[in-house]
Structure 1
Amino acid sequence: MLKQAACGLFFFVAWASVAKAASFGVSPVRVTLSETQQMGAVTVRNDSIEPVSMQLEVLNWSQEAGKDVLTPSRELLANPPIFTVPAGGSQLVRVGLRRAPDGQRELTYRIALQELPPPPKPDFMGSRMLMRVSLPVFVLPEVDAKPVLRWQATRTSQGGLKVSLTNNGNAHIQIANFKLSMPGSAQPWVTKQSSEYVLPGQSRDWNLRANAEYPAPLPGVTLQLFAQTDAGDIEAEVIIAP
């Protein structure tokens, strides 16, 4: 069995310093490179009682219609590409940039760490779960990089609310969670647990269901939004479109 998980889904706070799978841990869970920092490092630690063999894959990371698109890339170097970590040991993986940073926009990649199946034991019966971890790699542009966010909200045909975020900046944003409150209300109308990246020039939607106790606000109402992100806490006003 293959269990695949993006690093942003390992923990609710996805930019924590360590991600742990069933048999190994990875630290840090993201790499940031630039013109002045063209090399980075990731430590893979084996917490199991058996050796763990890993294979690395470097992927270009883009988004289309709010979905991640991953394609093989040679613009990064991750070394060693295949390695075995002894029980209780660790392995240093070096990540290097093989191209110049973009002049205006952040570049985005992912490094996939795939656990390889061990040699079968004669008495083994059943299936084995193999872990796959995907780490984001960000390459800063030559200019200052920051997200520029635009929030929107519209009522759905089912009576719920669709909240949309467009990133018009030149750097990513990662939304850990957000809540929407009615005007003058101390209690949030809805709280959304999330761990979503929105890359530069991309958008993402969240469909929020309403119920009889908490119906969706009417068009024209201005909601107060509070979100926790990897760029810090943000607040914004969101007007429900007619």
Structure 2
Amino acid sequence: MPSRWPHPLILLFCLLWSAGLASRVSISPTTLQLQPNVRATQLTLTNQGGEAVTFDLSLLAWSQPGGQDVLVGTQAVVVAPSTVTLEPGATQTVRLARLGAPTLSELAYRLLITERPSQAPGVTTRIQFSVPLFDGPAEAAGRTPGASPPLAETPFQVGLGADGRVTLSNPGAFHLRLNTLEVRGADGWQPVPLLYLLAGQGRSLDVAGIQELRYSQGGQTRNVVVH
């Protein structure tokens, strides 16, 4: 079954990150890129805490049908190892490789790195990291792998549906990463935790009465009035 965000573990990850618990483990890089002539990539996990920690790793295909983030299982990219145990101070390299032919258009995935529950008695918390992976001809557009194009190259479209929800659509051939997004309604400005608009897709905003958007991307900040 497809998984539609917000996922409980994703929300827990966001809360724990701000509380400093996720600082026990560092991940580098935080965005991954495959290209037609680069079928494999890797990331590094480092345990900076004082206790051993075990993670399960899985890769899911990522799309945005109907304006919602959806994750489904895939075998297009293999992840090795799929389970990692890190002793204090230890580092592990995780490799990801495309199994099939290069894609002609950009595809998106999410690498989920989920902490196994502690065996210690009492209340425990679990951390889940979600690392985006993009597979597509990034170099063909003169882009640095993993980087978003300048704002003027990939503008998004703002639409207002019959249900009153605002939809942001990315007509470009590459994903668009927003650094920040805020919306203004009857109660003033409020932040929206939206970071990515996938290529040829988009996201609906579950906020009623949006009158204006303010976003930053590529070092620029702009406002858009919703009609």
Which interval holds the TM-score relative to the shorter structure?
A: 0.7 to 0.9
Change (3 A) 1:91 1:117: same
Change (3 A) 1:78 1:8: same
Deviation at 1:51, TM superposition (A): 1.1
Deviations 1:44-87 (A, max 9, x none): 11122111111111111111222211111111121111121111
Q: Contact 1:101–1:107 (CA<8 Å) still a contact in 2? A: no
Which structure dedicates a bigger proportion of its chain to strand? Answer: 1
Equivalent AA in structure 1 for residue 107 of structure 2: L
Q: Contact 2:67–2:167 (CA<8 Å) still a contact in 1? A: no
> Kindly, what percent of the aligned residue pairs are identical?
24
Equivalent AA in structure 1 for residue 200 of structure 2: G
Which aligned pairs between 1:180-219 and structure 2 lie closer than 5 A?
190=189, 192-206=191-205
Q: Contact 1:42–1:92 (CA<8 Å) still a contact in 2? A: yes
Equivalent AA in structure 1 for residue 193 of structure 2: S
Deviation at 1:23, TM superposition (A): 3.1
Equivalent AA in structure 2 for residue 203 of structure 1: G
**How many residues are aligned here?**
205
Deviations 1:93-151 (A, max 9, x none): 11212222321x21111111111234x3xxx4322112111111001237538644212
Deviation at 1:236, TM superposition (A): 6.2
Whether 2:132 is the aligned partner of 1:136: answer yes
Change (3 A) 1:203 1:31: same
Q: Contact 1:31–1:136 (CA<8 Å) still a contact in 2? A: yes
Whether 2:1 is the aligned partner of 1:5: answer no
Q: Which residue in 1 is equivalent to 2:175?
A: 172
Deviation at 1:27, TM superposition (A): 1.5
Change (3 A) 1:28 1:75: same
Q: C-alpha separation between the residues in 1 aligned to 2:56 and 2:40? A: 20
Q: C-alpha separation between the residues in 1 aligned to 2:91 and 2:29? A: 13
Deviation at 1:201, TM superposition (A): 2.2
Q: Which residue in 1 is equivalent to 2:116?
A: 116
Deviations 1:172-210 (A, max 9, x none): 1122324579xxxxxxx7463433321122222335567
Structure 1 unmatched runs, 5+: 13-18, 182-188, 211-215, 218-222
Q: Contact 2:31–2:132 (CA<8 Å) still a contact in 1? A: yes
TM-score where L is the length of structure 2: 0.73
Change (3 A) 1:208 1:117: closer
Q: C-alpha separation between the residues in 2 aligned to 1:7 and 1:26? A: 17
Structure 2 unmatched runs, 5+: 1-6, 144-148
Change (3 A) 1:20 1:168: farther
Q: Which residue in 1 is equivalent to 2:37?
A: 36
Q: Which moved more, 1:197-206 or 1:37-46?
A: 197-206
Which structure dedicates a bigger proportion of its chain to helix? Answer: 2
Change (3 A) 1:69 1:179: closer
Q: Contact 1:107–1:141 (CA<8 Å) still a contact in 2? A: no
